[in-house]
A and B are shown apart, each in its own frame.
Chain A
Amino acid sequence: MREHNKAALWLLAALAAWEIAGRTTPTVRDVIATPSLILAQYLSDGGLYLPHLAATIRSASIGFLFGNSIAIIAAILFCRVPAGASAFRGVNIALFAMPAIVVGPVLAIIFSDNLPQVILAALVVYFPTMAATLVGLRDIDPRLPDVIRTYGGGKNAILRFVRLRSALPAILAGLRTAAPLSVLGAILGEFGSGVRWGLGSFLLGSLGDADPARLLGIGFAATAVALTGYGVFAWIGRRTVGATMAVTIAADRSPDTIGADEKYSWGKRSALMIVAVALPFLLWWLILRVFELSPIIAPGPVETLRYLLVGPSGAEACAALIAALGQTLPLAGLGLICGIGAAFAAASLTVLRPAAANAILPVAMLLQSMPLVALVPLVLLVFGRDTAATLVMAVLVVFFPAYVTLAQGFALVPGAARELVQVYGGSRTKELLLVSVPYAASYLFAAAKLVAPRALLGVMVAEWLLSGKGLGNLLNASRGLLNYDMVWAGALVSILISVAAYEAVSLLERLF
């Protein structure tokens, strides 16, 4: 409770400092307004907010419900049939790594009204909940299955008596991560579908005026909705599970932990790998079949590849994509490296000041749950629409999750190893260099896998909304020009690049 009070005091102090700075310095006021100006804007925009908020919350909640239900059922099936988890590896990685913003326009082609936002919200919550649930179902006291089997119980009895209840804290942790993501998914879906109502639409419509008080107001509103969702599930978790559960990477496990550890023969493993690669494309084809969509607006995998590879139109499309990627990828890579580097530096410095680390971690945990579109107003107002703004966006979306992962890595350095340095009179700095940094370096890969797809998403969101360059803009423009083939091809290419980045980090991790 005292921690809460302290945090509230810091927040109030920060708001007061902002207000004073804004009132005394006009340049500050013109760029980031002041809390009182934002409040005044809320009061005058009051009537506008309600329908926008209601639309976003509605899409996010329905998507949350469906996405998480499917995620929990999928996790139970993957646990029960490990080969299924291997077969669905491609689908799971694609859902984990996909830059959600590229999926919105595709969904808007297939579905109408609010369905694209709802489905995108469901798609973005699927992976964290599925991963957390599966880990919870698998990480059980290894003796318990023996007890059940000794009384003739099979896998179903183990699931019923042990796994489901054991997984409850992990499921709640997954839902806690999923709640703010569903808001992000709904907002990104609004960008793609171009609906009238929703916080995303509100933001899109307000970017042109660049009124700092309104833009920041929208950013705060989106953050508040997302963090409320986080808070509700954090509260439910504490109430139902009792003991404060470790807030770990568990909720954001990368897809590596999902693959089954079963020992398959070489042949079976290869077969599962082929299925894993083919399944996402098969599902793509199947969905188009089920909804009986015309190949003109909704090309399948084969048509999309043909569009990219065949004839002069293919060469043209490839050239456009390559030009866009030439702008997007360097920024994403640079943002990724800077973000992780800054996070590692910040996390290692907190080793020198453990008290500061304890204070910062909860704040970082909250900020990593902040929907990244809520950062757009701030970035626009401070950095404008240049390349710098795009880079800042990428660094910001990378920094917080990377920091949380790395800080946990530093926290897991064995106390005895650190005390060993102290016993020989080593300073905190020496302890950091000799023990903590080498130890926590292994968490760099975990952090990189987690945030590599986010870096791409951050850059594309900035390109879409601010800079008008790169892949993000290409997709936005193609959507406006009704160039359906390019929308699908662009989505495919960005997902493939994201998955490739993820796999590349995994490969590096295995090599080291």
Chain B
Amino acid sequence: MVAKWPPEGGRYKKALVVSSFKDPYAHEPADLSIEGVSKTFRARGRSVLALASVTLKIRRGSFVSLIGPSGCGKSTLLRLVAGLETPDEGTVLIRNESPHSFRARGELGIAFQDPALLPWRSVRRNVALPLQVLGKNVNAHRQRIDALIELVGLTGYADALPGQLSGGMRQRVAIARALVTDPSVLLLDEPFGALDQILRRSMNQELQRIWTARPTTALMVTHSIDEAAFLADEVVVMNAEPGRIVQTIPIPFPRPRTPGLFAAAEFHAVCDRLAAALDPGGVR
């Protein structure tokens, strides 16, 4: 499956893995460039090679899912992009900049599995937190904060405390917070990992809607095969010991994708391909 380049509408949605296959567009500038990155963690005398010389390039405006078993380094990869970890070897560049200088401008948004809200702050003030950390005037952005709260479907809850919200609602607050600086790169670390399957599917719908309304380059770590396939333009499959990229599988379905897709035979075929890539030795 080869996408038209550039696709209609002028938005570039394409993720490439240089190391694993030949890409005809490898010369195009990447939004996110991870080159030969290795990272070792040491704990109690043991050292674990979390990432072994990983190379990954992600085009501007594409949605990429990272999937793989526990310990394959997918979260580490995301944390490297956020500048929360530094690589032992190799480079991480976002638009030819280091993550540190890129994030200092508020160009990076992040959401975790644990929504990590400040329990003493209202929804509105939680969403405003990144602006405060960046030293911006929160009052000047009040309208966009309220618009974001509306975008994630929490109209009327702006003054509620996190403790008064359900798990799914808290996760929406975290996503609104991730979007408040109008980031050009959005990082999602298992954002719906703590939710039940039913809620998770509707949150996947929501995320697609939000992402379509405010396009960014998105990198999402997930454990769920169908979540990865439903949301992404391209799924990067990783494996553990050592953490590495095994395969990159493009997801061809047009957008907007509807819940009906979960039942489609083509969707299942893609999921099977992903499962096979995740567990090459498994019986299929």
Contact = CB atoms under 8 A, between A and B. Distances in A.
A59 B116 CA distance: 43
Chain B interface size range: 20 to 34
Interface stretch (B19-27, B128-136, B199-207, B238-246): B128-136
Interface in B68-82: 79, 82
Given A146-B112, A150-B110, A151-B106, A161 B118 contact: yes
A149 interface: yes
A150 B120 CA distance: 21
A147 B120 CA distance: 16
B133 A151 contact: yes
Interface string B82-104: 11100000000000000010011
B55 interface: no
A162 B129 CA distance: 10
Given A148-B133, A151-B130, A151-B133, A143 B118 contact: no
A146 B116 contact: yes
A144 interface: yes
Nearest to B181: A151
Interface in B230-271: none
A143 B106 contact: no
Contacts of A157: 133
B35 interface: no
B32 interface: no
A147 B114 contact: no
A153 B133 contact: yes
Residue among A147, A151, A153 facing the most chain B CB atoms (10 A cut-off): A151
Given A146-B110, A146-B112, A162-B118, A152 B103 contact: yes
B108 interface: yes
Contacts of B116: 141, 143-144, 146-147
A147 B133 CA distance: 10
Contacts of B104: 152
B134 A149 contact: no
Contacts of B129: 147-148, 151, 161
A141 B120 CA distance: 13
A165 to B, nearest CB: 6
Contacts of A153: 133
A223 B132 CA distance: 47
Contacts of A144: 116, 118
Residue among A141, A147, A161, A162 facing the most chain B CB atoms (10 A cut-off): A147
A143 B133 contact: no
A141 B174 CA distance: 14
Contacts of B110: 146-147, 150
B188 to A, nearest CB: 12
Nearest to B136: A151
Given A143-B114, A151-B181, A165 B120 contact: yes
B84 A161 contact: no
A161 B132 contact: yes
Contacts of A148: 129, 133
Give chain A's interface secondary structure class.
Answer: helix
Interface string B186-218: 010000000000000000000000000000000
Contacts of A150: 82-84, 103, 108-110, 130, 187
A455 B198 CA distance: 58
B82 A146 contact: yes
Contacts of B132: 161
Interface in A402-437: none
Residue among A143, A144, A148, A157 facing the most chain B CB atoms (10 A cut-off): A143
Contact of A152 (B79, B109, B133): B133
A146 B133 contact: no
Nearest to A152: B104
Residue among B109, B116, B120 facing the most chain A CB atoms (10 A cut-off): B116
Nearest to A241: B120
Nearest to A165: B120
Given A147-B110, A147-B129, A165-B120, A152 B134 contact: yes
Contacts of B84: 146, 149-150
Contact of A141 (B83, B108, B114, B187): B114
B133 A161 contact: yes
Interface string B160-203: 00000000000000000100010000010000000000000000
Interface string A103-130: 0000000000000000000000000000
Contacts of A141: 114, 116
Contacts of B106: 151-152
Contacts of B112: 143, 146-147
Interface in A142-172: 143-144, 146-153, 157, 161-162, 165
Nearest to B115: A143
B125 to A, nearest CB: 10
A146 B82 CA distance: 9
Interface string B2-19: 000000000000000000
A141 B83 CA distance: 19
A61 to B, nearest CB: 29
Nearest to A162: B118
A155 to B, nearest CB: 12
Contacts of B103: 150-152
B136 to A, nearest CB: 10
Nearest to B180: A151
A141 B170 CA distance: 15
A143 B190 CA distance: 13
B175 to A, nearest CB: 13
A148 B133 CA distance: 7
A153 B83 CA distance: 12
A143 B110 CA distance: 11
Contacts of A147: 110, 112, 116, 129-130, 177
Contacts of A152: 100, 103-106, 133-134
Given A146-B110, A146-B112, A151 B134 contact: yes
Nearest to B109: A150
Contacts of B187: 150
Nearest to B174: A147
A152 B112 CA distance: 17
A249 to B, nearest CB: 22
Nearest to B100: A152
Contacts of B79: 146
Residue among B105, B129, B133, B177 facing the most chain A CB atoms (10 A cut-off): B133
A152 B136 CA distance: 12
Contacts of A162: 118
14 contacts: A141-B116, A144-B116, A147-B110, A147-B112, A147-B129, A150-B82, A150-B103, A150-B130, A151-B130, A151-B181, A152-B133, A157-B133, A161-B133, A165-B118
Given A146-B110, A151-B106, 8 more contacts: A144-B116, A146-B79, A151-B129, A151-B181, A152-B104, A152-B106, A161-B129, A161-B132
Interface of B: 79, 82-84, 100, 103-106, 108-110, 112, 114, 116, 118, 120, 129-130, 132-134, 177, 181, 187
Q: Which A-B residue pairs are the 6 nearest by beta carbons?
A: A143-B116, A152-B104, A153-B133, A151-B133, A150-B110, A151-B130
Interface of A: 141, 143-144, 146-153, 157, 161-162, 165
